[in-house]
Amino acid sequence: MSKRDLKKYLGELTKEQLEEQLIELYEKFAPVKTYYDFVFNPKEDKLLQEAKVKISHEYFPIKKPGARWRPKAKMRRSVAQKLIKHFMTLGVDSFVLADIMLYNIEIAQTYSSQNYIKQELFYKSMLNSFEQAINFIVSNGIFNDFKLRINAILEEIVTQKWKNKYDFEAILEKIDY
């Protein structure tokens, strides 16, 4: 069904029929419920904190009560990417989205400062996250609000001697900051 056909169909429905269909969609599909729950009660701070906890558990997992050992860090970038995509879908404020993008890199840096990481993919993945964050921040005109954090990330990359530090610097040189 095209958008035009959908508009025509919806135009033929009464107000009560439309309300009934929306309620049915709300009850039947979790993404619709999530969207409307957010639209009518946008607790962005709560969402941000929950996202930060999920991302930090990828690097610093919590030992479960009664367990003898602490789980190993998974360091999956995909967890943060799913959260970022979800935030974009909901239409979360750009400051909140930029915050979570940078937090993902910062928590990875905290982990790498305490643990040797030999996988090249980790550094490439962080470079991709950094580039995505910078592009988003610049395109939303909020670079100056995050400049200190971005510079701190870059300084930490140099301090930790990441092999691809010049690639990170090149991303910032492109935007002439």
Read off the pTM.
0.79
User: In the prediction, which pLDDT does 47 show?
Assistant: 85
Write down the mean pLDDT value for the chain: 90
DSSP 8-state secondary structure symbol assigned to residue 72: P
Report residue 109's pLDDT band, with 50, 70 and 90 as the boundaries.
very high
Kindly state the average pLDDT of the residues 104-120: 94
Kindly state the average pLDDT of the residues 1-14: 87
User: In the prediction, which pLDDT does 125 show?
Assistant: 95
User: In the prediction, which pLDDT does 137 show?
Assistant: 97
User: In the prediction, which pLDDT does 139 show?
Assistant: 95
* Candidate ranges 17-31, 71-85, 99-113, 163-177; pick with highest mean pLDDT: 99-113
User: In the prediction, which pLDDT does 177 show?
Assistant: 58
Kindly state the average pLDDT of the residues 8-27: 88
Percentage of residues in the chain having pLDDT higher than 70: 99
Report residue 176's pLDDT band, with 50, 70 and 90 as the boundaries.
low
Of 25-29, 69-73, 86-90, 135-139, where does mean pLDDT reach its minimum? 69-73
